[in-house]
A and B are shown apart, each in its own frame.
Chain A
């Protein structure tokens, strides 16, 4: 080595290169909703990241304390617009547990169907977001097209597309409409075929795979320490799904598999969600058969008292995005004393620091798309 060559480290010390903070959001194309990600970059490489949430705080929990129990149901819809029925379902289950009542079989299966339709809805929304974050608009539009069919099913079931206001304390609002079972089976069959087009567009493209494969590794330990749940956790090798391991409603009576991958990278999280959609189709088929077997005149709703006895109850469920939980404290009146919501995204998004460190700026949207942000439930 000649003397004229100055070591790189020395140059860096003399030039005092600073790392740059880039504030992505709250109005940024990658943030699907109002939140901010601060990333610290050294050239193109991300060295630090910090998520900031709370722009959409509405005081949901406080507002719930001033409403009678049935009036919280439409509010629960607004927690997550992409999968509204899951939160309404969770809220009704929590109140039913506090009341200590059991709901009719048919209602349980209808809730399962509604949940899984919402799961597919939500995952398709996520797939669309992944498409735009990777720069491919075709995936976005194709996924949204498929989602329309499931929104039509929502309309068929309860008359609304997104904020459905369908589950009730003690059952569901109305029985499945005529020919709903036929329509849903057709939609599911059609969807499974159409999904392969999108999969061909995504998985057969080496560019898209190379954008996700091998970036943002998370280990099982990191997942557990942060409290990550849902498909992102199962992509890191944690074999846990509340539907199977702590079943609610009648999930123990339907047969399905929980996809688990041990790679722990962005692509594994993507694969888990895709596989979950197919599993949801299986669950829907079985549940629809059960609904058919119960017959037309089976009860779907029971009368419940307006006042919940003093005490507390909590219920958790497998949301499309992870483990959501509601904790209800009642003082014996017709309004809850306290209603606490645990949002899976609120904890999942705190992994963004671990996931983004060491990746490149271009990877940031692709990585955070795998969290599947939903600000309605995060900020409450």
Chain B
């Protein structure tokens, strides 16, 4: 409990809403944004120190005055803000990576990773290892396409992971179409994977890329139908509205139990995890579309996979598990932790599935997508429509 009190007093210290931060002409958000406030405070200290040092050397200079001005403060605070958002998501992803390794190890009757801090430092060791590797390029490739596709796959994954809000005060953008925008960026990667498969001059990569496209056309449509269903139930595409709509009524997995299960599997497919990782099926395609990427490129691709897994779980949490709210409590003192715990719980379900199931065949996934997920999502839509018409929601 002491920790919470301290946390809250810390928040009061940096709560710029009271200090008039939001009246600032350059304030880039509509509502109170906690990480930005932290960054603004940080820059006040940092920029103020630099300005003071410069002032000692060159008394009364323009640069010092500019550095502590509102415009420059906002600019540098935003740069810090981007860094903070990335680091938080990065650490969350590393934790889910560590969780997967340890839980899989437990389920498979082995120890999992063992390097420092209960195996958590294995992520660091892996990162260092891939970083040290030689940057090899295969011969006869379309070098430009080979590089930009992988950059975009990684970039889009990191972008979409950073865009997921952790709470009403922890977000990057607060669009009215937030859920759709996250979905749009989420669904971009398979296109780049397809192009990347063509560019690599490798038959496995080519088939892997084609399979990524095949995978996408099988789950994307039911997934969008279920997003529309949730929006219909909440009356908005805005993530905050969806979460608080669940807080006002019930968590949406109760009326949409079919949708919850179906969306969960679609999200598993979206993040290309077992049993739907046909694009990188290592048994037959070596490493699928990633075959020709070596060293740090491959390391970043693996990391991007986990970023996507994190986003998939976060979407399930937002759409069905009440986001960062708790029943009877609402926001609570630390909604970010509540949100992350729920996300990791969904990720744990994905780990369970990975340990228990085998990979499906590409033709089977088309069958599952169009003959199982599609009717289920439509039934879910019908149920929600009935509830809506019946006046339950």
Q: Does A362 count as interface, using CB distance less than 8 angstroms?
A: yes
A343-380 to B contact mask, C-beta < 8 Å, 1/0: 00000000000000000111111100000000000000
Q: Out of B107, B277, B359, name the residue touching A138 (CB < 8 Å).
A: B107
CA distance A135 to B280 in the complex (A): 11
| B contact residues around A145 at 8 Å (CB) | 109
B358 pairs with A208, CB closer than 8 A: yes
Tell me, rounded to whole Å, the shortest Cβ–Cβ distance linking B85 to chain A.
Answer: 34
In this complex, how many residues of chain B approach chain A with their Cβ under 8 Å: the count is: 28
> Is A136 on the interface with B (CB-CB < 8 A)?
yes
Query: Do A362 and B109 have beta carbons less than 8 Å apart?
Result: no
On chain A, the residues within 8 Å of B277 by CB distance are: 135
A149 within 8 A of B: no
Q: Which of B269-287 contact A (CB under 8 A)?
A: 274-275, 277-278, 281-286
Give the interface centre of A131, A134, A138, A362 by most chain B CB atoms within 10 Å: A362
Which of B109, B207, B282 interacts with A361 by CB under 8 Å? B207
In the complex, what's the smallest C-beta–C-beta distance from A18 to chain B, in angstroms? Answer: 12
85-107 of chain B: CB within 8 A of chain A: 104, 107
Asked if B363 and A360 sit within 8 Å, CB to CB, the answer is yes
Instruction: Find chain B residues with CB under 8 A from A208 CB.
Output: 357-358
Say yes or no: B358 contacts A361, CB within 8 Å: no
Distance of A29 Cα from B281 Cα, bound (Å): 10
CB-based nearest A residue for B361:
A362
B356 adjacent to A29 (CB under 8 Å): no
C-beta contact mask, A1-30 vs B, less than 8 Å → 1, else 0?
000000000000000000010101000111
Query: Does B137 sit within 8 A of A, measured CB to CB?
Result: no
Given A44-B363, A135-B275, A145-B109, decide whether A365 and B358 contact each other with a Cβ distance below 8 A.
no
Q: Is the CB of B358 within 8 A of A29?
A: no
Confirm or deny: B127 has a beta carbon within 8 angstroms of a beta carbon on chain A. no
Chain A residue contacts of B274, Cβ below 8 A: 135-136
In the assembled complex, A207 has its CB within 8 A of some CB on chain B: yes
Shortest beta-carbon distance from A50 to chain B in Å: 16
Using known A-B contacts A44-B363, A135-B275, A138-B355, determine if residue A29 contacts B282 with beta carbons closer than 8 Å: yes
Residues A207 and B107 in contact, CB atoms below 8 Å apart: no
Question: Which chain B residues lie closer than 8 Å to A141 at the CB level?
Answer: 108-110
Docked complex Cα distance between A22 and B358 (Å): 24
> Closest CB of chain B to A215's CB: distance in Å?
9
Contact B283 A365, beta carbon cutoff 8 Å: yes
Contact pick for B358, options A28, A44, A135, CB 8 Å: A135
Q: How far is A44 from B361 in the complex, measured between Cα atoms in Å? A: 10
B295 CB within 8 Å of chain A = no
Question: What bracket does the count of chain A residues touching chain B fall in?
Answer: 20 to 34
Closest CB of chain A to B353's CB: distance in Å? Answer: 10
Chain B residues 359-378 with CB under 8 Å of chain A are 359-364
Asked if A133 is at the interface of the complex by the 8 Å CB criterion, the answer is yes
A56 on interface, CB distance cutoff 8 Å = no
Query: In the docked arrangement, what's the CA distance between A287 and B268, Å?
Result: 50
B385 CB, nearest partner CB in chain A, Å:
31
Residues in B6-24 with C-beta less than 8 Å from chain A: none
B203 interface residue (CB < 8 Å to A): yes
Q: How long is the Cα–Cα vector from A135 to B274 in the complex, in angstroms?
A: 8
User: Which B-chain residue is minimally distant from A362 (CB atoms)?
Assistant: B361
**A160 located at the interface, meaning its Cβ lies under 8 Å from any Cβ of chain B in the complex:** no
Which single residue of chain A is at the shortest CB-CB distance from B206? A20
- Does A142 lie within 8 Å of B108, measured CB to CB? yes
**If A20-B203, A201-B356, A205-B356 touch, does A135 touch B363 (CB 8 Å cutoff)?**
no
Say yes or no: is A306 at the interface (Cβ < 8 Å to chain B).
no
- Interface members, chain A 19-62 (any B CB < 8 Å): 20, 22, 24, 28-30, 44
Instruction: Report chain A residues within 8 Å CB of B278.
Output: 362
Residues from chain A with a CB closer than 8 A to the CB of B282 are 29, 135
Answer whether A207 and B207 are a contact pair too, CB < 8 Å, given A28-B286, A141-B109, A362-B284. no
Contact partner of A30 among B284, B357, B360, B362, CB < 8 A?
A: B284
In the bound complex, CA of A121 to CA of B37 (Å): 63
Q: Tell me the smallest distance from the CB of B352 to a CB of chain A, in Å.
A: 11
Q: How far is B104's CA from A141's CA once the two chains are assembled, in angstroms?
A: 11
- The answer, yes or no, to whether A224 is at the interface (CB within 8 Å) is no
Q: Indicate which residue in B104, B108, B357, B362 contacts A44 across the interface (CB closer than 8 Å).
A: B362
Apart from A207-B357, A362-B362, A366-B283, what 13 extra A-B contacts exist at CB < 8 Å?
A24-B284, A28-B286, A30-B284, A134-B283, A134-B359, A136-B359, A138-B108, A141-B109, A205-B358, A208-B358, A360-B362, A362-B283, A363-B361
B residues sitting closer than 8 Å to A (CB atoms) are 104, 107-110, 203-204, 207, 274-275, 277-278, 281-286, 355-364
> Can you list 18 A-B contacts with CB-CB less than 8 angstroms, sorted by A residue number?
A22-B203, A24-B284, A30-B284, A44-B362, A131-B358, A133-B283, A135-B277, A135-B359, A136-B274, A141-B108, A141-B109, A207-B358, A207-B360, A207-B364, A211-B360, A360-B361, A362-B281, A365-B284
